[in-house]
Structure formats: C-alpha cells, structure tokens
Amino acid sequence: MNKRQLGKSELYVSELGLGAMSLGTDKRRATEIIAEAADFGVNYIDTADLYDYGENEKIIGTALKGKRPDFIIATKAGNRFEKGKQGWEWDPSKQYIKEAAKASLQRLQTDYIDLYQLHGGTIDDPIDETIEAFEELKQEGLIREYGISSIRPNVIRTYVEQSSIVSIMMQYSILDRRPEEWFPYLQENGISVVARGPVAKGILSERPLHTVAAASDGYLDYSVKEIEQLRDVLMQTYGKTYSLTKVAFDYCLAHPPVAAVVAGASSIEQLRQNARSCKEKPMLQTEIDNIERITKQSQYTQHRS
C-alpha cells in the first residue's frame, strides 16, 4: 500500500489508516483485525486515550508486541477521565497533557508515540501552555510528532501559526467538503490532513441506505432525498468500475494535503474491503472533478474568528 509523508516529518503513513475506535473490547477479534491490516500494508493506527477509557490503547499495545517498529501509532489526549466513572472533562493544561502521554505510553506498552494529537480544543484554551506540553514531550523523546484533531478554523489557524504541528485530523468526505477551503493554506504551511469519516458514517459504503442510521435524518446540509439521489448517481456512474467505498476514499486522497483516510473496521471483511479499495488503481482526475461538480462545496460557518 502506498505511503505518504505526514507534513514535513519523517513519518510515512499508509494511505489507509485503521481507526481503532470501532475495534471494540473483544481482544481476540481486535488483534485479528490489526494483524490483517498489517498484511495489507496498513501501518497507521489511530486511537485515543478516551476510547473505551484506555482499553483500546491496551489492546493495541498487546497486539503490536514485537512489531512496534513496523507501525505508526497515533493517539490523542485532552479529555480527562477516571477509569470506572462515566463521562469526562476537557483539560488541555500542560500538566494534564504530559500526564496523559505517560499513561498512554504505559497502556500502549511502548517508549514513544509517533503522532500525539490534541483531541479537540477551543480558541479559549490555554493554547500556549498546550503547545509547550507537546514541545516538551517531543524534546523528551516521548513523542515523535504532534498534531490536532479539529474542525474549528480559529483553532486550526492558531496552531498553524504558533506551533510545529505536522497534521490536522478533520472530518472530510464527499458529503462534507468544508475542509477544502483550508487545503491551500495547510499545503502552503507543509501540514497534512488526516481525513476521518471518509464514508460519512456508512452512507458512502456498500451498506443498504435504509440500514444506515446516519442517513435517516439527512447528513449536514444534505436532506434524505438528496443523499438518496447522490448515492444513486455515484453508483450508476462509477458502480461498474469501483465500489462506493473506493469512490469515497479516492475522492479524499485525490487532494494533495490529505496524507491518509482513517476508517474503522469492526470485522475482518470490512477491513479487507477498505484495504482493497486503497490498493486498487486510483480513480482518474476527471472522475474526481466530476464528483466535485455534482456535490456541495460547503464551508465552516462557526468558529471562524
């Protein structure tokens, strides 16, 4: 599987990243999915300390024993929680970020995190303090690089200008083209995009639409009828050549700032389908251009200043 450079870093990630949140807590099944992903050339695993309150990181740590150098592990922090208690609170303080990193390292059974990400954030955070925490973790060798997970323009702009982030994880798909407004700016600054939600919660997959809960009330600025119509057009236009999942992945990956699409897999078959979609010959640029013409070019309306 092709690999792409993450920002200006020395990290090269597979075009398909395994979104670990969907692995669940069945250790055997999760381990099998991770092993299958590796066989397909997936080297990028994205998790967070909050997923199953740390259990997700533990499962990944165990699954990667003896294979650690072959993988790029990305995890996230900022949500303070206590094991055994429901809920969490946002805490981007320097003290907590550094504590959280060490706790993640222990659960992951590793000496370093390849990509450490702020799991959200607002413009009212003590951003200087947060950046200082990430920079110190990097100097201490506990993380290799850092980034943020955000769809707030004012937060994105601040981190681009004031920190040395290498990536931004953004919700991005054919049905959510809001990030595209920011692609030239990010590319100019040498920062990669990691696309989460490329299949729009299953709408852009092979699942029958009536089984996809996210489509029942519409999706962002698409009504239910518009979703049905667009899916029909995509399948009629490209269905003889590509799977809908591939169309969804390739659309994102066709945009230069995007280093990887991160997709979950709760079964071996789903993982295989995702991986095959990324390994096959990519769609033509003319086909990508056509998708741009028939879909909505939306923009973020909040948190712009």
Q: How far is CA 279 from CA 72, 81, 120, 246, 249, in A?
A: 19, 38, 31, 10, 11
Reduced to 3 states, what is the DSSP secondary structure of residue 304?
Answer: coil
Reduced to 3 states, what is the DSSP secondary structure of residue 299?
Answer: coil
Beta-ladder partners of 112? none
Phi, psi torsion values for 5, nearest 5 degrees = -70, 135
Helices (H), the chain: 27-39, 55-63, 94-108, 127-139, 153-162, 183-188, 224-238, 244-253, 268-279, 285-294
Q: How many CA atoms lie within 13 A of 31 on its CB side?
A: 11
Q: How far apart are CA 146 and CA 101, in angstroms?
A: 12
Q: How far apart are CA 153 and CA 275, in angstroms?
A: 31
Reduced to 3 states, what is the DSSP secondary structure of residue 175?
Answer: coil
Interior angle at CA 271, CA 265 and CA 273, nearest 5: 125
Q: List residues with catalytic annotation.
A: 51
H and E: helices and strands count for the chain: 10, 12
Q: One-letter amino acid identity for 208?
A: P
Interior angle at CA 199, CA 194 and CA 203, nearest 5: 155
Do 146 and 116 touch, CB atoms closer than 8 A?
Answer: yes
